[in-house]
Chains A and B, each alone.
Chain A
Amino acid sequence: MEMEKMRKFIIVVQRNDPSNKQGTKWNDYSIEVPRGTTVLDALIKIKEEQDNTLSFRYSCRMGVCGSCGMMINGLPMLGCQTQIYDLESDHIEISPLPNYDVLRDIVSDLTNLFEKHKSVMPWIIRNDSKETDNPSGEFFQSPQNLEWIYQFTYCLKCGLCLSACPTAATDKLYTGPQALAQAYRYIMDMRDEGFSERLSKIDDSHGVWRCHYASSCSQVCPKGVDPALGIQLLKREVVLRKLRLKRQRKGAEVLSGPIEGAKKKEGIPSAPPKNI
């Protein structure tokens, strides 16, 4: 069996300990890893073999949970999605995400992100509380509507967009690209009726108008979401509704069952039995 080719890398990690007033320091670790190793794999290897005090956060290791956001050679990236060989440098600098407080080493405190996300009410808001409390079926959503908002549903809440945002760096009250893109996702959902509820958070001096369209949020998103586009579309939506050029629509109705007497097309299997 052919020996796996190994390459040596110097990983320089910023060490932070808020309880220690000595400030930050940088530690160098030398490791040899094969092609296919991610930055997160390298950090795990360092923790296992060289320094068990090194702190970093991760969970799924496959770009789904969004836990391992970190600055890698000056760019916000997910450690688990970044191939160490693709960085085109043997010297790799890792530091915590900017625009967040640091808990320890490269672990950022994402509380701010989640608070902002929560503030735009990222759920379907309906006026018919009877139906939402005791649902009689599913609300209708057209394939076109799903397609329109689909990319925004990919958001992992990893916080890379907020860390890359130059406005968030200066204005701590700015709602941020993640939350605003999610606000757009829910406002444009045809099942939603919560535009006016979300308006106070969006149409604010630190809300949607604060975006200067630097677009760095879209460049760093690991899932290819374009929050900058979402924010511009959200601005358009707010303006159209403010100028009464677009009306607040009624949320989609509950899907009715098949029409009585309708014949089923051949080849379509029967629906599975209800299990709730």
Chain B
Amino acid sequence: MKDSIRWIIHITCGGILIVLLGLHMGAMHLPDIFKFFYPLPEGSDPVQWSAVISRAKDVTTYALYMIFLPVALYHGLYGLWNVIAEALSSRKLDKIVGWVIVLAGIALYIYGAYTTTVSFINKGM
């Protein structure tokens, strides 16, 4: 894949992250304003265990996390690969590190998606 395509995806993911992280931060820290997005159980705080479990059961939050996970992973890991590639300054090592990062990304995605899905299906861990 050409670097321009990787870079376009990276920037697109950055844009999506601004929206998704904004929603997440809003739901966590400004619950009164963001109650349209995620209504809290009566009298609970967004970071309380009961609220976390309640979110895990919520289909909107599940969908959001399932989008958030690959987007954040790609954005972060591509950034990491760039830092390493710049420091190594070797085309051969670029490729090796690139494949290690791709495999790590896939493993992290599987683990993250599994945890989120299990939490959603089981209505909480």
- Please tell me if A89 contacts chain B, counting CB pairs below 8 Å: no
- Please tell me if A205 contacts chain B, counting CB pairs below 8 Å: yes
B94 touches A171 (CB 8 A): no
What count of chain B residues pass the 8 Å CB interface test? 15
A243 touches B8 (CB 8 A): yes
Chain A residues near B4: list those with CB within 8 A.
203, 209, 238-239, 242
Q: For chain B, residues 17 to 46, give those with C-beta under 8 angstroms from any C-beta of chain A.
A: none
**Could you tell me the distance between the alpha carbons of A206 and B82 in the complex, rounded to whole angstroms?**
9
Chain B residues near A174: list those with CB within 8 A.
86, 89
**Could you tell me the distance between the alpha carbons of A210 and B89 in the complex, rounded to whole angstroms?**
11
Name B2's contact: one of A172, A203, A206 (CB within 8 Å): A203
Residue of A nearest to B90 (CB): A173
Chain A residues near B86: list those with CB within 8 A.
167, 170-171, 174, 210
Chain B residues near A238: list those with CB within 8 A.
4
Shortest C-beta distance, B5 to chain A (Å), equals 7
- Please tell me if A197 contacts chain B, counting CB pairs below 8 Å: no
- Please tell me if A227 contacts chain B, counting CB pairs below 8 Å: no
Shortest C-beta distance, A199 to chain B (Å), equals 8
**Could you tell me the distance between the alpha carbons of A170 and B6 in the complex, rounded to whole angstroms?**
22
Q: For chain B, residues 82 to 118, give those with C-beta under 8 angstroms from any C-beta of chain A.
A: 82, 85-87, 89-91, 94
* Residue-wise interface mask of B (1-19) relative to A, using a CB-CB cutoff of 8 A (1 in contact, 0 not): 0111111100000000000
Chain B residues near A131: list those with CB within 8 A.
none
Shortest C-beta distance, A213 to chain B (Å), equals 13
Shortest C-beta distance, B14 to chain A (Å), equals 14
Residue of A nearest to B98 (CB): A205
B8 touches A204 (CB 8 A): no
A242 touches B8 (CB 8 A): yes
A203 touches B91 (CB 8 A): no
**Could you tell me the distance between the alpha carbons of A167 and B89 in the complex, rounded to whole angstroms?**
11
Residue of B nearest to A200 (CB): B2
**Could you tell me the distance between the alpha carbons of A239 and B6 in the complex, rounded to whole angstroms?**
11
Q: For chain A, residues 196 to 238, give those with C-beta under 8 angstroms from any C-beta of chain B.
A: 203-207, 209-210, 235, 238
Residue of A nearest to B5 (CB): A242
**Could you tell me the distance between the alpha carbons of A174 and B94 in the complex, rounded to whole angstroms?**
13
A203 touches B3 (CB 8 A): yes
A173 touches B8 (CB 8 A): no
Shortest C-beta distance, B75 to chain A (Å), equals 14
**Could you tell me the distance between the alpha carbons of A240 and B48 in the complex, rounded to whole angstroms?**
46
**Could you tell me the distance between the alpha carbons of A205 and B78 in the complex, rounded to whole angstroms?**
11
Shortest C-beta distance, A180 to chain B (Å), equals 13
Residue of B nearest to A204 (CB): B3
B89 touches A242 (CB 8 A): no
Chain B residues near A173: list those with CB within 8 A.
89-91
Which residue, B4, B6, B91, B94, has most C-beta atoms of chain A within 10 A? B4
Shortest C-beta distance, B111 to chain A (Å), equals 28
A209 touches B91 (CB 8 A): no
**Could you tell me the distance between the alpha carbons of A206 and B86 in the complex, rounded to whole angstroms?**
8
**Could you tell me the distance between the alpha carbons of A235 and B4 in the complex, rounded to whole angstroms?**
8
Shortest C-beta distance, B90 to chain A (Å), equals 8
> Which A positions have Cβ atoms within 8 angstroms of B?
167, 170-174, 203-207, 209-210, 235, 238-239, 242-243
New contact pairs (13) apart from A173-B90, A205-B3, CB-CB < 8 Å: A171-B85, A171-B86, A171-B89, A174-B89, A203-B2, A203-B4, A205-B85, A206-B89, A206-B91, A239-B4, A239-B7, A242-B5, A243-B8
- List 12 interface pairs A-B (beta carbons < 8 Å), by A numbering: A170-B87, A170-B89, A173-B89, A174-B86, A205-B91, A207-B3, A209-B7, A209-B82, A235-B7, A239-B7, A242-B2, A242-B4
